[in-house]
Chains A and B, each alone.
Chain A
Amino acid sequence: MLTLFDGLRDVTIWSVALRMTLAVVCGGIIGIEREYKRRPAGFRTHILICLGAAMTTLTSQYLYLVLGQYTDMARLGAQVVAGIGFIGAGTIIVTRRQRVKGLTTAAGLWAAAIIGLALGGGFYEGGLFATFLILIAELFFSRVEYRMLQNAPEVNLYVEYSDNKTMDTLLQEFREHGLKILNMGIIHSKSNEEHNACAIFTLRLHKGLDVEHLKQEILATAGVVSVREL
């Protein structure tokens, strides 16, 4: 352990002040990126959760080291881990298109709580380094993630078409390209004048086949009204 923090390992007025300040700062650092992306849990939410978590470990150390109570120092903090899981689950929403949103926010909140626990417990090395790693993940890996999504081998296509025969032609085309249909769904709508059915395909692409190119080709098929990537 770093000797730098040696004087701050006990529960004193200075270490309490430092730990709580660090919790606010680290919570803020994690939250600032979320705020920047306009996600539901922003800056203040992360700070509150991080600070609250820090207080639980501080309180149990206070009970043990200062008051001399015979207690388990991990008990309060352990419940934070489960409790923030609950709060996090509340941030997850299911949109109308049946996509899950808010999972990264939930995970971020949870991580902020645990960093708060570490800082409150006086485990400065762990808390600070974890914050640093999260910062790297947010700044660097979010770009990697977007790039990976672009190159994902699975693609969801939404096709509107006007004629039942179109479906057969499309299936034929997919087979010719060697595309695997992982899932498909068809919806008929009679009220629409432009098309009378739409289909959603989940396809597995292989290397050397561009999505844009595929979309162009589907659009060129007789009877297809529009193609969109989901």
Chain B
Amino acid sequence: MLHQLDYLREVNTVSVLLRLTLAMFCGGMIGLERARKHRPAGFRTYMLVCMAAALTMLLSQYESYMLHHVWAEKAAEIGIRTDVSRFGAQVINGIGFLGAGTILVTGQQKVKGLTTAAGLWASACMGLAVGAGFYECVGLAFLLIFLVVHLLPAVELYIVENAKNMNIYVEFQSLDNVAEIINRIKAKDVTIYEVEVDHGKQTPSQHPNAIFSLRMNRPGTHAKILAAISELEDVYVVHDI
């Protein structure tokens, strides 16, 4: 560990101010990437979570400092019984709950919001590290996140473009249509390796639907497949998952 930072590892006014500011900055960094994608938790949310998590760590360090200095007499009399990581441990828990709220399963069997939840949780954990004054870890994490935020979109785009597998969700009038949909898919030189058919209910709002897992033999046919299926008269909804 770097000895130059020893002063900032103590609990003093300077380190408190520095850590809270740093936590907000780091949280914002993680949030930046999410905000770019129009995701619900903008970067202010990440800032708040990261900063508050840092505050919990600082608070427990403060209490421990007080026990050893200002309240030392009392502490010697009663005996010290505390755990510096107790507040912080609950952050991991509590933000897990918060994150659970962002995850939703849509009516079309698609999970959304998982990355938001994970990002929120990661920024809370980062806040704990900042609050503890673990500057080396924070510096490194900051660097890594910065790289991920700026390099990953390009990689992601490449993967999305060249992905060979796709899942599509189709809603149609009756089960007789399945054969025709399969024909249309096969015509595009695509292998179907899994079909999950739901018969639907007799109510008008829920049509029979199917989820096709496909493997494309040629790249770039993605949108064409969807367009081809949508041309069928009896198909109500098509989209990829």
Contacts and interface: CB of A to CB of B under 8 A. Distances in A.
B83 interface: yes
A69 B95 CA distance: 31
Given A126-B55, A145-B43, A188 B235 contact: yes
Contact of A88 (B70, B97, B223): B97
Contacts of A77: 59, 87
Contacts of B223: 171, 174, 181, 184
B96 A85 contact: yes
Contacts of B112: 98, 100
A9 interface: yes
A94 B24 contact: no
A1 interface: yes
B21 A133 contact: yes
Contacts, number: 250
Contacts of B197: none
Q: Which of A92, A126, A133, A188 has the most B CB atoms < 10 Å from its CB?
A: A126
Contacts of B70: 9-10
Contacts of A199: 230
B35 A121 contact: no
B71 A65 contact: yes
B45 to A, nearest CB: 5
Contacts of B65: 1
A103 B40 contact: yes
Given A117-B59, A117-B87, A89 B230 contact: no
Q: How large is the interface on B (under 10, 10 to 19, 20 to 34, 35 or more residues)?
A: 35 or more
A2 interface: yes
A70 interface: yes
Contact of A134 (B51, B89, B224): B51
B200 interface: no
Contacts of B208: none
Contacts of A117: 55-56, 59, 87
Nearest to A94: B104
B3 interface: no
Given A101-B40, A117-B59, A123-B62, A74 B52 contact: no
B227 A1 contact: no
B237 A183 contact: no
Contact of A187 (B43, B160, B236): B236
B227 A85 contact: no
Contact of B52 (A10, A111, A197, A200): A111
B203 interface: no
11 contacts: A80-B90, A83-B94, A85-B94, A100-B104, A107-B52, A121-B63, A141-B44, A145-B43, A148-B32, A149-B35, A154-B36
